[in-house]
Amino acid sequence: MTAVPSPSDRPMTHREILEALSGLLLGLFVAVLSSTIVSNALPTILGDLHGGESAYTWVITAALLSLTASTPIWGKLSDLVSKKLLMQVALVIYILSSTLAGLSQNTAELIGCRVLQGVGAGGVVALGQICLAAMVPPRERGRYSGYFGAVFALATIGGPLIGGVIVDTPWLGWRWCFYVGIPFSLIAIVVLQRTLHLPVVKRAAKIDYLGSLLIAGAVSLLMVWVTLAGKNYPWASWQTAAMVGGGLLLALLFVLTERRAAEPIIPLGLFRHRTVSLAAVASALVGIGMYGATTFLSQYFQLARGKTPTMAGLLTLPMILGLAVSSAAAGRLITRHGRWKRYLVAGTFLLALGFTLLGTARAQTSYGLLSLYMLATGIGLGLTSQNLVLAVQNTVPVKELGTASSAVTFFRTMGGAMGVSALGALLGTKVTHYLADNLRAAHLPATGAPGGGDLPDLHKLPAPLVPLVTDAFGHGIGTVFLVAAPFALLAFLVVLFIREVPLRTHHAEPAARPAAVPQSQDA
């Protein structure tokens, strides 16, 4: 019986791609926004909910952790069932969790809602790249990946600005940081239903639930360790041995499980491709910069410079513009010439340079210099993050596009979650140390000084303490960026060893394709 042709049997036109892309980009924007919009608003949120520095870190990392753990699951599901349906389900999860987060009455409730929000956001982020890969061949994908990179950049770096404006607007308040994405998510669901038509492979789904639990447990245990070590107990202690040992044991069990699973969450065979292995490592290292920059720059401008949340967001505009423009420009140049490695090399180098320069920042550093440092960092991120995904998509067989794409995203968000958690713990330790030094130098007692991991309200501190506190935060955050710089440098060294393969101009596999699988139009 002859199959009836459907829109999914022919390549999508440029107009059809743009129409579908509008829904994907709208969903991507609100999903990524959920990870960063709270950055500038957190001092206000935690002041209202009575949380401290550890809660500050966990409100951000809870979403990153669940995003990290769920990304491979979404990727595997996309290789088995309707990509459009999965995208819409992820958006619904995002809407429900955002509503609950806005209704939170304490930090425990908020962190729990952020975990659920990360699950939905993980689906949207992973599936956006996967749907693009299904619509567009690799050579043309750079053109559209530039849009993804620009939107990702605006949401990642612009989120703190939007959150700052919301929390500084009296008739809105911080709860609208969670409500604001809901109407846009509803619009994205409708647009995708009308415009996104992709083939769906019909075969039995076998989800590796055990693998998902093991990898989530391993990452969670290590994150708890880096958050509490050095503060609740010494780095060299039995708690450290138990948590690190437990995390490594769970990771080992995950690898053993993946070797036996019928449908592994992260097929270990993917890492036989050198490009996939190196891109995964580089993505984890770049993730530290992507999420760390927004988190700690927000604290810098509010706690070291005394700016409002809105001004703190506006002051990061050099990074926003550098990231958005470089991502879009690189995407177009990659499409025109088919070469991508040069942008990875330049991007990771600029990221390392930007972090090194930001490591010299103090409370009194000129904003002109800070703008140049942030611009270099933003350009580095824009040239790097999306192009690592593109390099992997160009390497693996078409049937593994979803799994491979989500694997890269998994390592990027894992790096971000672990990095923010570890660097946040380091910041708390350093600020306490520098503030104690400042108090001794000024011959002032510690009475009235912020402590115990609390985030200070500069307007409520005694006047003599304010410059000592801002200096401590400026010095501490500068130290955090200096510690992050070697990770970016390591990413630069890693991408040097990635072998460049010119982008394919069609959807054909690098090797011989397997027997044809019946396809039907996406619901």
Residues 458-502 pLDDT 10s: 877 888 888 999 999 999 999 999 999 999 999 999 999 998 877
The per-residue pLDDT for 122 is 86
b/e 123-158 (16+ beta carbons within 10 angstroms → b): bbbbbbbbbbbbbbbbbbbbbbbbbbbbbbbbbbbb
pLDDT over threshold 60, residue 7: no
Residues 96-109 pLDDT 10s: 999 999 998 888 88
- Helix ranges (H only) for 338-451 are 341-358, 367-393, 401-441
The per-residue pLDDT for 346 is 95
More confident residue, 359 or 18: 359
Residues 225-277 pLDDT 10s: 876 776 677 878 898 899 999 999 999 999 999 888 877 777 888 888 888 89
- Whether 316 and 130 have beta carbons less than 8 Å apart is answered as no
pLDDT over threshold 80, residue 203: no
b/e 186-201 (16+ beta carbons within 10 angstroms → b): ebbbebbeebbbbbbe
Q: What is the mean pLDDT of residues 427-442?
A: 88
Q: From CA 468, how far away is CA 447, in angstroms rounded?
A: 13
Q: What is the mean pLDDT of residues 40-68?
A: 76
Q: From CA 211, how far away is CA 189, in angstroms rounded?
A: 30
What is the residue-averaged pLDDT of the chain?
A: 81
- Whether 486 and 373 have beta carbons less than 8 Å apart is answered as no
The per-residue pLDDT for 518 is 40
- 315 — phi, psi (to 5°)? -70, -15
The per-residue pLDDT for 523 is 37
Query: Which of 460, 410, 376, 337 lies closest to 129, judged by CA?
Result: 410
Q: Using CB atoms within 10 A of its CB, is residue 442 exposed (0-12), middle (13-18) or buried (19+)?
A: exposed
The per-residue pLDDT for 511 is 42
Round the CA-based radius of gyration of the chain to a whole number and report it. Answer: 23
pLDDT over threshold 60, residue 336: yes
The per-residue pLDDT for 201 is 57
The per-residue pLDDT for 162 is 85
Q: Which residues, including other chains, have CB under 8 Å from residue 163's CB and lie 6 or more apart? A: 36, 37, 38, 39, 40, 41, 177, 309, 313
